[in-house]
Structure 1
Amino acid sequence: MSLSLWLQDPAGKRNVRFLFGLFFLLLPFTSTGQKFTVSGYVRDAKTGENLIGVAILNSVTGQGTATNAYGFYSLTLPKDSVKLVASYVGYERGFFSTYLDKDLQQNLMLSPVTTALREVEIVNTRQEDVRESTRMSTINMSVAQIKAVPALFGEVDVLKTLQLLPGVQSGGEGTSGLYVRGGGPDQNLILLDGVPVYNASHLFGFFSVFNAEALNNVELVKGGFPARYGGRLSSVLDISMKEGNMNEVDGEGSIGLIASRLTVGAPIKKDVASFIVSARRTYIDLLARPFMNKEEGVGGYYFYDLNGKLNWKVSDKDRLYLSAYTGYDKFYATTERSGTDDEKSQAGLGWGNLTSAFRWNRILNQRLFLNTHLTYTKYQFDISSEEESRYQGETYDYKLKYLSNIRDLSAKLDFDYIPNPSHYIRFGTQYVHHQFQPGALQVRDTNGGDAEDLNVNTQKTNAQEVGLYVEDDLRLSERVKVNVGVRANGFYVNKEFYSSMEPRASVRFIANEKLSLKASYANMTQFIHLLTNSGIGLPTDLWVPSTDKIKPQRSHQVALGATRTIANDKLEVSLEGYYKTMHNLIEYKEGASFIGISNSWDTKVTTGKGWAYGMELFLHKKVGRTNGWIGYTLAWSNRQFTELNRGEKFPYRYDRRHDFEVVVIHQLKPNLTLSGTWVYGTGNAITLPEARYVVGDAYSGGYGGTQTYNDYGARNGYRMASYHRADISLSHTKKKRWGEVVNNISFYNAYNRKNPYYIYVEAGAKEGDPAVFKQISLFPVLPSISKTFKF
């Protein structure tokens, strides 16, 4: 329905005409001379998995390309001798030579490196590709680096590692939320195998839902967004799962203080089909249960993750994938009392994600690649409470259940068209059916046999979203390369239709063999919102759509940057500055929350604007026995709402002036690795009361008494103390006949810094004494051990 409305709408017609006009404009005039195409996949020689972002260079002409998100490459060259060199971090170089006089399909197999010397050579080649790329504000993080960084309780965490990058902040102590360039957590498009994940946190944000052992590639885009991405304002986190070993059974697992995990991959039919399964679960609840007394109450908490993927090579041109993820967090508490009057109570809080994806890759011809994607995602949280008692032969029963969820069903077509090495054209379309249920309350109250039922706000809201995009990575000269594109979107909800046209552009200029300059502009639209009370990713945050009252969020971001290699290309330095404006942001009105659900959610919010700007410095060393990075961010982020803070602008809660990160990974011996991190950040902004008033008369005959009220100052007008922390980790690897074992010991907050988690007001010790502010700190120094094994 929404697509037809979009095509009937005048603005929609203009959008489509402009989009397809741009597409045909970008199509180059192909040469009439004899040219042929060599194409295929680049795969891991050991496991058969496709490798993403491999640099492919024809050393004869100097022309090159890179594999796409599915491991496919295509290079069109004149009729002549061809010498291909494939380079990728952590792998031996791959070579292929031939005389190209016809179109050729050639898969390349790369073997993992076995010596540090070879790794140094490969990384240098990859660094050159970084300077060549038009993309900026983009960081690829290897899973090996993620695993090497010290982790809280020994739990390797993708999101916590990304928090150590410039321009990326955490919400607070231990949390895994991402706040990118002044944006909120809802403004990050988090994709797992192309499927959106709406809540990526376990344990109220202390851990993420991603099991590093099941992952193949992690890419974070902070700005200069290509047109193929849409729907969010601040960042794209694109995570790909492993595909399963095509040649032999392999696996990896670990045992830690709070959780254990296991990943197994194996061929179903060698070099034809494979699978991978990964599972993780905490077990503190199981260990503590025998020590609990039922009459005093039994409670606990656990979370689990389960990933699975099937991979089937139907033919040389066709490949099918089926992947799924499910994860859940559960808090529960039960009490039972027996006697003259029996009493029983139960309470629970749970939240989790379910995602699934079916993908069909097809090589339509040597220059055209198609990916068809069908996906489903669901996020839900629920709160339940039940009390039952018996008194004088009658039963009193009270049940309450509150739930909120969002579901998406999506279909997407992506085309990669590579007519020659000077053009890399991508175009495609996507349709999404959203279903929102921001809050549904069910209450049953039984009082001595009389039952009363209450259902509130159970209505679901459906919305349709459609998008079309086209982009071209275009080489204008040896020094200048651009990525230009546009994305057109439509959103239909409750008879309201919104459309947007989003131009995107990035340009790269090679100043010399070591220095490149880059600039980008991106216009983004976001049709969904996250209503949050706390800002730290609690499961009580509600996902809601744009409506006739609430318009879509919109942003504009410009960025300028420079990348240079120094120290004989062993170090890469990048400096970027950015400026971003955001419109139609939403916040709860003063005193409103999700709890009072007698009114619709859109009557409780106010809209406003925000802007963020800053500078990011990134020094990255990828070679040698010692590697790591240093990041520094100088940033400002502000908000302004007519109905908040008397209409005056105020700092965003996570406005952080200075953010500094140091990550060092040092190989003491071939089997012994020492790593450490140190972080520093300006304290979070906070709203505090400036005065207290006592109303009433304590001696007025017992009627009313007194009440104390706080008079709050400017919104986020104060700062918590600065945050800093050091973590240390030592890993020892021992080879076995069947594989290897890695023993790890780590220390979180090694020098026991008492970092602020939150601040509260405490009354004076005596009547008349002034109130004082108290700081709560969460984690002291925390040692942990873990054992990881591979086979």
Structure 2
Amino acid sequence: MTAVQGFMVLMLSPVLVHPAPDEPRGHIMGRVVDAITMQPVAGARVEVVGHPRRATADDAGLYRIEDLGEGVYRLEVRSMGYAAHLATDVVVVRGKTTYLDEIGLAPVPVAMGGVTVAPGIAEAGGSRHSFQREEIRRTPGGSGDVVRAMGTLPGVSTSEGELSAMTVRGGGVHDNLILIDNIPLEKINHFEGGSDEQEAQGGRFSIFTAGLIERATFHGGGFGAEYGRKGAAVLDLTMREGNMVSRTVSGSYDLLGLELNYDGPAYPLSNTSLVVNYRDFDLVNALAIAGEEGFGDPVMSDLIVKTTTYLNPANRISVLGIRSSDR
């Protein structure tokens, strides 16, 4: 070995022996089931759109995609005998495992022979619209409020964002059926009926903070008899479930008041997730700054808790508790 070669080996040795540490990566975990029977779909292929990462669901329908950079991804899920499913707005955070709700694949017949196609009359689709959690959060002017987000739909009025209430095609605020996890709720707003104007148009604050609703399905008409309690529209809300793998704790304190959030496993139970949202607002300071002391001392508080326990791959139990008050 010459002197020049020996010098080059010495210069490169620190680089070879001490590689730069990798940046923390995020992961995605979830479960693929049959949309009708809710049974696991073993062997389903889950791919990250535009990325080489992919995974295959095991016998329990579980999959895990590792080593993803922080960002927003789309997942494409395929399996023989099922229609392909595209999951959008999957947010990955460094050092965290993002747990998705169950992805339901719709069964489709497998073509075995020739198909004859004949022209027919196109059927007009009903006024049904679905919003995912990130879509609700990003709706312009909605501030994460699920009711204000519905104001972007045709035929829906939400008082230009001033009030958290909606009217559909000339109906009243109380002519809409609102369901949360299939439970009907008559009132989901604070300070409703505090004055003649508010009584006619609804309250100003939703009891659900940004990010609590996993999915919102709006029926503006043509809904079935199972939604027959009201005549104007149906807003079907699905409360999100907790992360079964990693926990996230957050909080904020500002001019309005205090908000605390927990999302993660329900220790020490390994098969149970937990979501907790607590909010306590006293608006006296905000009204004083705005010069509206005549409204008194409005106070509102919310405590929302949801647990989900997986008994086995085919069965689970969810418990939802909501305590909401204002004056």
Coarse TM-score class (shorter-chain normalised): 0.5 to 0.7
Q: Does 1:311 align with 2:308?
A: yes
Matches within 5 A, 1:127-146: 136-146=126-136
How big is the shift at 1:141? 1.1
Q: Hey, what does 1:72 align to over in structure 2?
A: 38
Q: Hey, what does 1:209 align to over in structure 2?
A: 207
Q: Tell me, what secondary structure is at the counterpart of 1:310?
A: strand
Cα gap change, 1:88 to 1:283, in 2 (>3 Å): farther
How big is the shift at 1:85? 3.8
Equivalent residues of 1:214, 1:307 under 8 A apart:
no
Q: Hey, what does 2:16 align to over in structure 1?
A: none
Give 1:184's aligned amino acid: G
How big is the shift at 1:300? 0.4
How big is the shift at 1:174? 0.5
Q: Tell me, what secondary structure is at the counterpart of 1:213?
A: coil
Q: Hey, what does 1:276 align to over in structure 2?
A: 275
Matches within 5 A, 1:46-85: 67=35, 72=38, 84-85=44-45
Give 1:304's aligned amino acid: S
Matches within 5 A, 1:7-406: 67=35, 72=38, 84-85=44-45, 96=56, 106-109=60-63, 114=69, 119=74, 126=86, 136-151=126-141, 155-171=143-159, 174-204=162-192, 205-226=203-224, 228-267=226-265, 268-269=267-268, 271-285=270-284, 299-330=296-327
Give 2:325's aligned amino acid: Y
Give 2:128's aligned amino acid: T
- Using the alignment, how far apart are the partners of 2:48 and 2:242 within structure 1? 20
How big is the shift at 1:284? 2.5
- Using the alignment, how far apart are the partners of 2:75 and 2:247 within structure 1? 30
Equivalent residues of 1:244, 1:311 under 8 A apart:
yes
Give 1:148's aligned amino acid: R
- Using the alignment, how far apart are the partners of 1:92 and 1:225 within structure 2? 41
Q: Hey, what does 1:28 align to over in structure 2?
A: none
Give 2:188's aligned amino acid: A
Measured against aligned partners, the alpha-carbon deviations of 1:494-542 in whole angstroms (never above 9, x if no partner) come to xxxxxxxxxxxxxxxxxxxxxxxxxxxxxxxxxxxxxxxxxxxxxxxxx
Cα gap change, 1:228 to 1:206, in 2 (>3 Å): same
- Using the alignment, how far apart are the partners of 1:47 and 1:194 within structure 2? 26
Q: Which runs of 5+ in 1 are unaligned?
A: 1-44, 57-65, 76-81, 99-104, 290-295, 331-791
- Using the alignment, how far apart are the partners of 2:73 and 2:286 within structure 1? 46
Equivalent residues of 1:87, 1:93 under 8 A apart:
yes
Aligned length: 246
Q: TM-score, normalised by structure 2?
A: 0.59
Measured against aligned partners, the alpha-carbon deviations of 1:558-597 in whole angstroms (never above 9, x if no partner) come to xxxxxxxxxxxxxxxxxxxxxxxxxxxxxxxxxxxxxxxx
How big is the shift at 1:176? 1.7
- Using the alignment, how far apart are the partners of 1:203 and 1:302 within structure 2? 9
Q: Tell me, what secondary structure is at the counterpart of 2:297?
A: strand
Equivalent residues of 1:159, 1:178 under 8 A apart:
yes
Q: Tell me, what secondary structure is at the counterpart of 2:244?
A: coil
- Using the alignment, how far apart are the partners of 1:183 and 1:302 within structure 2? 30
How big is the shift at 1:86? 5.1
Matches within 5 A, 1:512-527: none
How big is the shift at 1:247? 1.9
Q: CA RMSD in A?
A: 4.4
Q: Hey, what does 1:558 align to over in structure 2?
A: none
Matches within 5 A, 1:552-571: none
Equivalent residues of 1:85, 1:93 under 8 A apart:
no
Q: Tell me, what secondary structure is at the counterpart of 1:162?
A: helix
Q: Hey, what does 2:81 align to over in structure 1?
A: none
Matches within 5 A, 1:462-541: none
Measured against aligned partners, the alpha-carbon deviations of 1:373-414 in whole angstroms (never above 9, x if no partner) come to xxxxxxxxxxxxxxxxxxxxxxxxxxxxxxxxxxxxxxxxxx
Give 2:61's aligned amino acid: N
Equivalent residues of 2:74, 2:86 under 8 A apart:
no
Cα gap change, 1:47 to 1:190, in 2 (>3 Å): farther
How big is the shift at 1:221? 1.9
- Using the alignment, how far apart are the partners of 1:325 and 1:117 within structure 2? 31
Pick the structure with more helix per residue: 2
Cα gap change, 1:300 to 1:142, in 2 (>3 Å): same
Cα gap change, 1:319 to 1:135, in 2 (>3 Å): farther
- Using the alignment, how far apart are the partners of 2:86 and 2:296 within structure 1? 51
Pick the structure with more strand per residue: 1
Measured against aligned partners, the alpha-carbon deviations of 1:104-139 in whole angstroms (never above 9, x if no partner) come to x632336597577953978x9639x99x9x973222
Q: Tell me, what secondary structure is at the counterpart of 1:119?
A: strand
- The higher radius of gyration belongs to 1
- Using the alignment, how far apart are the partners of 2:76 and 2:311 within structure 1? 36
Cα gap change, 1:111 to 1:239, in 2 (>3 Å): farther
- Using the alignment, how far apart are the partners of 1:217 and 1:135 within structure 2? 20
Cα gap change, 1:199 to 1:93, in 2 (>3 Å): farther
Q: Which runs of 5+ in 2 are unaligned?
A: 1-26, 78-83, 88-104, 109-123, 193-202
Measured against aligned partners, the alpha-carbon deviations of 1:116-173 in whole angstroms (never above 9, x if no partner) come to 7953978x9639x99x9x9732222122222223547xx5311111111222212466
- Using the alignment, how far apart are the partners of 1:194 and 1:280 within structure 2? 24
Cα gap change, 1:67 to 1:73, in 2 (>3 Å): farther
Q: Hey, what does 1:589 align to over in structure 2?
A: none
Measured against aligned partners, the alpha-carbon deviations of 1:411-447 in whole angstroms (never above 9, x if no partner) come to xxxxxxxxxxxxxxxxxxxxxxxxxxxxxxxxxxxxx
Give 1:157's aligned amino acid: D
Q: Hey, what does 1:696 align to over in structure 2?
A: none
Percent identical: 26
Equivalent residues of 1:92, 1:118 under 8 A apart:
no
Q: Tell me, what secondary structure is at the counterpart of 1:163?
A: helix
- Using the alignment, how far apart are the partners of 2:252 and 2:152 within structure 1? 24
Give 1:72's aligned amino acid: M
Q: Tell me, what secondary structure is at the counterpart of 2:312?
A: coil
How big is the shift at 1:308? 0.5
Give 1:302's aligned amino acid: V
How big is the shift at 1:305? 1.4
Measured against aligned partners, the alpha-carbon deviations of 1:307-366 in whole angstroms (never above 9, x if no partner) come to 001222233343222111111121xxxxxxxxxxxxxxxxxxxxxxxxxxxxxxxxxxxx
Give 1:327's aligned amino acid: S
Cα gap change, 1:203 to 1:94, in 2 (>3 Å): farther
Q: Hey, what does 2:20 align to over in structure 1?
A: none
Cα gap change, 1:207 to 1:107, in 2 (>3 Å): same
- Using the alignment, how far apart are the partners of 2:225 and 2:305 within structure 1? 29
Q: Tell me, what secondary structure is at the counterpart of 2:86?
A: helix
Q: Tell me, what secondary structure is at the counterpart of 1:166?
A: coil
